Amino acid sequence: MEDCIFCKIINKEIPSSIVYEDDKVLAFKDISPAAPIHILIVPKVHVANVEALDPQTVGCVADIHMASKKIAKLMGINEKGYRLITNSGTEAGQTVMHLHYHLIGGMTLGAKIY
């Protein structure tokens, strides 16, 4: 999508602090981190959110989850634990309408996620 900031980051039109990339996903540091480690993982295919997934795009969720394991290991938090979150829709707090997951860790996170 032409006006999608994450698509522009994927296309390297906007700089970001990339921590991981493969042919299906891109992961970069969040500019407003909620924890010492806060990485955004986005599929390279544009999908607005979970509600927009269809049989042709649902595989990107598996790609994100597999990448999250690699990223957690790269960040040194795979054994201690991390949180993987996605928001779907504005009432859930989604501000960029491109499916993305937040990988958060590097500190003790409480049981509540809100």
Above pLDDT 90, what percent of the chain? Answer: 94
Output 112 or 49, whichever has higher pLDDT: 49
Burial category of 72 from C-beta neighbours within 10 Å (exposed 0-12, middle 13-18, buried 19 and up): buried
**Residues known to be catalytic:** 100
Q: Distance between CA 113 and CA 111 in Å, rounded?
A: 6
**Predicted confidence (pLDDT) per residue in 83-92, tens digit:** 999 999 999 9
Residue 102 pLDDT > 90: yes
Go through the domains of the chain in sequence order and give each one's CATH number.
5-105 (3.30.428.10)
Q: Distance between CA 94 and CA 101 in Å, rounded?
A: 10
Residue 1 pLDDT > 80: no
Bridge partner residues of 29 (DSSP):
39
